[in-house]
Structure 1
Amino acid sequence: MIFRGVLIAIYSFLLAPVVIVCIVAFSSDSSFVFPPPGWSLRWFRAFFDNREFLSSLVVSLELAVVASAVSLVIGLAAAMGLKESQLRGVRAIELLFMSPLFIPRLLVGVLLFLLFLQTAIQGSFLALFLAHLLIVLPYVVRTIAASLQDLDPAFAEAARTMGASRARCFFEVTIPLIKTGLIGALLFAFSVSFTDFYLALFLTGHDTMTLPMQMFYYLEWQQDPVVAAASTIQIALILVIAVVMDRITGISRIFGRK
């Protein structure tokens, strides 16, 4: 009972800022006041009437979709290669794929900024894409690897003995059996990419401003709840993705637990 109370208190503490931001987004006041003196949708209308916010939202969505799709292809190949490899150093290769998780993302942003500055792609969509691909790939590889661990090789062997080619076996047997893991990996990658701030802090340009960075710059000059509305929209989108992820794959399956 005590443990449950402590757990509830911790979750309440962590979720309180999110709840407050969402409530302030519906405030009728022109400043950040909690609790709000009244209720209104004016800040959501202000968000969608703001070209800069809409442009940054489109950039974030495009970036998340492209990075997620490409990371899914690379992550699937990497996860299957790691599973079937007989090399003695396969564990080291797996740790290499996971290494972006061990380095603070702020430091990753600084290092990529210095690298892209030398290659003349700093501030471009390509630079952001490569950076996001780097940070979402570990999640994709881990998620797909967890699905492959539950895959019974007897299904593929049976298909091969019945004359199916390796390619046909892959597309008609393996992919359908791990599709929940693939969907989970895709949604996971999208969430990480869409909400990233630290890489965008160093890599965005005038034409590649992401939504988190636009919100950051807006707060330098304005202190009205339109940022809270933008945050609420972002939170709502991630919650929808999380619900879809849980309904399709199950959170326990994503982390490799039955």
Structure 2
Amino acid sequence: MLTEGVLATAGIDAIAVKPTECDVSRAGDLAVETVTIDYEGREHLPDAETLTDLADDKTVRVTTPVRADGFDPLGDDERWERLPDSVGRVLVAGHPAYLTDEEKQRAVAPRLGAARDRAPDAWVGTESVERIALAVGGTQFELLSRSTERDLRALRAAGFDGEIAVYAPLVVSDDEDAILDAVGAYAARRKPVREALPADAATDATATGRARSVLSKAVRDYALVGDEDSVRTQTDRLRDAGVDTVVGYPARGIDAVAD
């Protein structure tokens, strides 16, 4: 981890960027050593030249959904083959929003296994496939939740000594309205939060009463928020629980975390 800047002070090791939100090459200017690029559909996959240029300065990992055409190690793998050798992978089952009905029906386990054979240093996303991901091995790429610390302590206590990375939306600000505008809706999509919110409640800075109270707690369960010191306290707790790499997605945009 680099030693200067807001991201380092907050304890962030890596940044996740979304191609639909920014020019991913801008991540090369951020004070982190690792960049992960989220998958938002084949049409938004950065070109090989952009990825190669970014990998000249950073460790780059591209999220690759193993059930999707173009990345299927047991079928159409044409887009996998076009990714530069200098770019690593984050293997995931794939978000249903970016998969066709046919792709959603494909078995995850054999594809994750085959993809790991092809990319032994890949990270493996655990969302919805925790047991399969653990069986496949590799760095376990967890999505932050209210149970993350407890779950990872139990995993370490059981003897798991592999690498663990945790992904979370990031808002480095002590402005509660800014925090809710950035990640309130994200937290509200989680089932426990959705069930706790009043019907038709606002999920941004306009939330009031019980809805605001629920959201203010929820964003701290599912995201890394607060000033630099507050976020550092959260990332330190994650490391104490066994996390090796903290990956932050800048929910207010790259400019909000640039030094």
Bigger radius of gyration among the two: 1
Q: Same fold (TM over 0.5)?
A: no
TM-score by length of 2: 0.24
Please give the TM-score of this superposition, normalised by the length of structure 1.
0.24
| Larger relative helix fraction | 1
Flag the structure with more relative contact order, 1 or 2, with Cα contacts below 8 A and sequence separation at least 6.
1
